[in-house]
Amino acid sequence: MNSTQLSKIAAAIVMSLLALIVIGKLTSFVYAPQTPDKPGFAVAVEEAHDTVAVEQAPQVDLAALMAVADVAKGQTVAKKCIACHTFEKGGKDKAGPNLYNVLNRELASNDGYKYSKAFVAKNAEGTKWGYEELFEFFKKPSAYIKGTAMGFGGIKKETQRADLIAYLRSLSENPAELPMAQ
Ligand code: HEC
């Protein structure tokens, strides 16, 4: 190996070292970690929040509905029922049982009235007429208790059902507590 060859090799080594340094600088520039102004997972939290909002379908706030329900309006709604029900204390049973003090009463518990098999079966489950039960029943009786003898289509409007329940609640010597906000 002569000196020319040696210097060529030395030059090649120097050149490749230089190239490495230059490449190193360039890549560190391109891939330099950038510190974000805000931590990235603030976005992730928002996304999680959105998902929860979608999963929780809007629910009826019965306590809120009952808090503003109107007894007088409920009495007007109850005109739909008087063909089959009486509401006063000791009132007679018609096609349907007397409804005095029905709120919180055990389902199908009016002595002397002959309930349908569907009602008797539901009574065996120990169901009582709480706010939620009446609210669902009045929406569509035949859906709430399949096979019921109550031939009444139902009341779609939530506020009307709440008013009706407020009226039923008032038909008692000792009106039940209003439902508590959840
Ligand atoms: C066409 C007649 C008819 C109409 C109208 C009717 N009901 Fe009834 N209702 C019945 C019958 C019959 C039953 C008994 C159901 C059974 O045994 O399956 C009943 C049962 C009930 C019960 C359950 C009582 C208990 O002792 O468990 C409630 C509460 C009730 N009705 C409320 C109403 C209200 C409020 C309305 C008006 C919005 C109404 N009903 C309209 C015939 C009727």
Determine the Cα–Cα distance for residues 24 and 60; give it in Å rounded to an integer.
Answer: 63
Query: Tokens 């029943």 belong to which residue?
Result: 137
Give 136-172 pLDDT, tens digit per residue: 999 999 999 999 999 999 999 999 999 999 999 999 9
Q: Which atom of ligand 1 is nearest to the CA of 147?
A: 18
Provide the pLDDT for residue 46: 52
Question: For ligand 1, is residue 60 a contact (CB within 6 Å)?
Answer: no
Superfamily name with CATH number, domain 62-170: Cytochrome c-like domain (1.10.760.10)
Query: pLDDT category, 39, cuts 50, 70, 90?
Result: low
Residue whose CA lies nearest to ligand 1 atom number 41? 81
Provide the pLDDT for residue 62: 96
Give 44-90 pLDDT, tens digit per residue: 555 555 555 555 556 789 999 999 999 999 999 999 999 999 999 99
Q: Which helix (H) or strand (E) holds 141?
A: helix 141-144
Query: Tokens 């055990």 belong to which residue?
Result: 106
Provide the pLDDT for residue 181: 80
Residue whose CA lies nearest to ligand 1 atom number 37? 81
Span from the CA of 151 to the centroid of ligand 1 (angstroms): 8
Question: For ligand 1, is residue 24 a contact (CB within 6 Å)?
Answer: no
Domain boundaries, the chain: 3-55, 62-170
Question: For ligand 1, is residue 121 a contact (CB within 6 Å)?
Answer: no
Is the pLDDT assigned to residue 180 strictly greater than 80?
A: yes
Question: For ligand 1, is residue 110 a contact (CB within 6 Å)?
Answer: yes
Question: For ligand 1, is residue 98 a contact (CB within 6 Å)?
Answer: no
Provide the pLDDT for residue 149: 98
Is the pLDDT assigned to residue 40 strictly greater than 60?
A: no
Question: For ligand 1, is residue 166 a contact (CB within 6 Å)?
Answer: no
Residue 128 has φ and ψ, to the nearest 5°, of -120, 160
Query: pLDDT category, 42, cuts 50, 70, 90?
Result: low
Question: For ligand 1, is residue 99 a contact (CB within 6 Å)?
Answer: yes
Question: For ligand 1, is residue 80 a contact (CB within 6 Å)?
Answer: yes
Cα dihedral 136, 126, 86, 64 sign: negative
Q: What is the arithmetic mean of pLDDT over 171-182?
A: 91
Residue 20 has φ and ψ, to the nearest 5°, of -60, -45
Give 94-141 pLDDT, tens digit per residue: 999 999 999 999 999 999 999 999 999 999 999 999 999 999 999 999
Determine the Cα–Cα distance for residues 140 and 35; give it in Å rounded to an integer.
Answer: 59
Provide the pLDDT for residue 48: 53
Residue whose CA lies nearest to ligand 1 atom number 40? 81
